[in-house]
Structure formats: C-alpha cells, structure tokens
Amino acid sequence: MDMLIEKIKCEGIVLSPSVLKVDSFLNHQIDPQLIHEVGREFADRFSSSGITKILTIESSGIAPAVMAGLHLNVPVVFARKRKSLTLINDLITASVYSFTKEETSEISVSKKYLSEEDNLLIIDDFLANGQAALGLAEIAQKAGSAVAGIGIVIEKGFQKGGQQLRDKGFRVESLAIIDSLENGMISFEETTENMGELIR
C-alpha cells in the first residue's frame, strides 16, 4: 500500500509519541480514491476466506469497510456507539474502552444482521490497544458468527493491541504498521508477508 504510506508521510501529524492525526484523509475528511484502494487491498487479502459480511464500528471504520464490501460484494454492518430510537430491541452489545477519548462506550448491533451462518471480516481504521476489534469480535462470538480475520488501515505496532489479537489466534492484516512516533517522526515497521508488504 505505497499510496497509503505516502499519504501518512505527507499528511500525518504526530501529536505525541502515541497519537497520530490523519483526519485530512481517513477519519474526518476522507480521500475517496485512497479509501477505494484500501478497500481493494482488503478484498484481495481476504478474497479466498469466504467472507459473507464485514463488521466495523462507527464512525471511522465505515468508509474502509464499505469499500472492502464493494470489492468483496458483501454487506457491511456497523456497530453503533450511540443509542438510537430505531435500534432498541434484540441487540448484541459489548463494552469498548477508548484510550484516545478516555471513556467506555457500549457498542451494539441488531441480532437481525448477524447469524451463525456468517463468516465475518472485521475492519477498522486504527489498531492501538485493540479494544474496538476485541469488542467487535465479542459481538461476533455472541451472534455465533465466525471471524475470518481483522483488517486494519493503520496499526500502531509499538502498542499492544496487534500482538494481543494475534496471540488470541486472529488473522490480522494491517496495511501500514507504524513502528514509532518518537521525536515527532513517523517510522514504519518492516512487515512479514502475512501482515502486509514491505513499506520501508
């Protein structure tokens, strides 16, 4: 994903040794061409996995998930963080702690949209401590759905989430893995074939 790496290098802003701001192209303003290619890459990596649906979380996971769903020709289901007047009955829920916002949210999906017949691809924009992905995996488990893998646009390799998910047996495919944000510099990790391509 050279296009993604270059975008991060050119437009990513390091706010601290643990926080990278990419709201100019990923999670506030969205670069449609980039996200289209992100979706294509996820689809390529999971094309032989028998994906029936993509599961993500609002709001930043929706754009890459929809593009992957477009290329895989499968529906996209997103877990809601906020209560809704129309989403009140037969919900599957999980609690997710956000280190960035320093708050816990209850995420929910209607039972109507996940079943034991589903083989899910979980997609999110960032992977740091892994709480969102674990919450989505918990919802999948409660629905009886299988999880074929987890697709991440940007992983902070220096935080524990990725290793935690892999230790639990999940296949994690991250398109860009950041090794460090120290001294205001973005450095990328050299990845294995299973985790992505050479990006440095």
Binding residues for 5-phospho-alpha-D-ribose 1-diphosphate: 128-132
Let me know: does 122 contact 114? Beta carbons within 8 Å.
no
Element (H, E) at 43: helix 32-45
| Other CB atoms within 10 Å distance of the CB of residue 137 | 21
Angle value at C-alpha 127, between 121 and 129, nearest 5 degrees: 120
Which value, to the nearest 10 degrees, does the dihedral of the CA atoms of residues 9, 12, 16, 18 take? -80
Binding residues for xanthine: 20, 27, 156
- Residue 173: strand pairing partners: 151
CA 110 from centroid of its chain's CA atoms = 20
Residues with Cβ within 8 Å of residue 147, at least 6 apart in sequence = 119, 120, 121, 122, 137, 140, 141, 170
C-alpha span between 7 and 114 (Å, rounded): 34
Binding residues: 20, 27, 128-132, 156
